[in-house]
Amino acid sequence: MTQHLWERLLEAKSRLEPVQSKYRVLFEDPATPDEPAKVLVPDPNWMACALEGGILPPIETYQRDRDVPDGEPKEHPYTEPIGAMTEEEAIEYLVMKDIDPAVWRDYKGNRTIMKIVPVEMIPSDRSFRNAWRIMQ
Amino acid sequence: MSTLNVSNISDGTTTVGTSYVVNGSAKAWVNFNGTGTIATRDSFNVASLTDNGTGNYTVNFSNAFGTGDYSFLVSCKQNATSTGPFISTETFSTTSANIRTRNVNQTDVDCEIVSASNLGDLA
């Protein structure tokens, strides 16, 4: 029987060193064009699990679970985990998991609304944070 | 990993049901820098954070919750220039929760450190 995802995460937390990703995902939501660009920050413990393998479920299970109503059984905690990913593959997985498909799959416009960038490219001065846009 | 199947835990004097321990444990938690380039300091059951703008953050869970009716507890350490902060949570879903930090004038402000924990039933 496959161990529950939460238990796998618990066990991984006790033995894996966190890994700070060198990437961030910049994106804009086409549904709210007046809002500033958002920045997705991978969690270091999650990244350690992704690089280790044998902990996280296939991304397809999260995608199928999007359509499952609240309170109904979800697939992703009980599915056999996948193997190790590279950091680049892990970022792509995270994009598909934590960013709305309207951004990474369905958008057909001409603007660039998503970019994977090195962390050094994210400004650390947040004085004008709400004016951030993705440079075209 | 081995499993201990017991109904109660006792220290010899006080006995408590394991269901209290399981249900009372945080199923996800995070502590992160809310200023500069935001970054997680430590966490559990969190896949990523989204920096949505000034004082506006989203916590994305690795293992989703069964429903959006969980308890989401947030606190933050104000930065030197802000008055407040006041914390609100605007959207709860089974997969993520949003945190807004504002000053006394209801203006969004960044917090130096933000911490959040979730209690509830997992998916």
> Which one of A16, A21, A41 makes the best mutation probe of the B interface by having the most chain B beta carbons within 10 Å?
A41
Range of A37's domain?
5-131
Are the beta carbons of B50 and A94 separated by less than 8 Å? no
| CA pair distance B123, B117, nearest whole angstrom | 17
Closest CA to B97 of B35, B40, B28: B28
Rounded to two decimals, what is the model's pTM? 0.93
Are the beta carbons of B47 and A98 separated by less than 8 Å? yes
**pLDDT of chain A along its 136 residues, tens only?**
789 999 999 999 999 999 999 999 999 999 999 999 999 999 999 999 999 999 999 999 999 999 999 999 999 999 999 999 999 999 999 999 999 999 999 999 999 999 999 999 999 898 899 999 999 8
Establish if A34 belongs to a structural domain.
yes
Establish if A136 belongs to a structural domain.
no
Q: Which ipTM value was assigned to this complex?
A: 0.96
Nearest CB partner across the interface for B50, out of A20, A40, A132: A40
Per the structure, the count of domains in chain A is: 1
Assign B28 to helix, strand or coil.
Answer: strand
A:B CB pairs within 8 Å: 114
Establish if A96 belongs to a structural domain.
yes
Check if the beta carbon of residue A100 is closer than 8 Å to that of residue A62. Answer: no
Are the beta carbons of B52 and A119 separated by less than 8 Å? no
Closest CA to B46 of B84, B9, B11, B72: B72
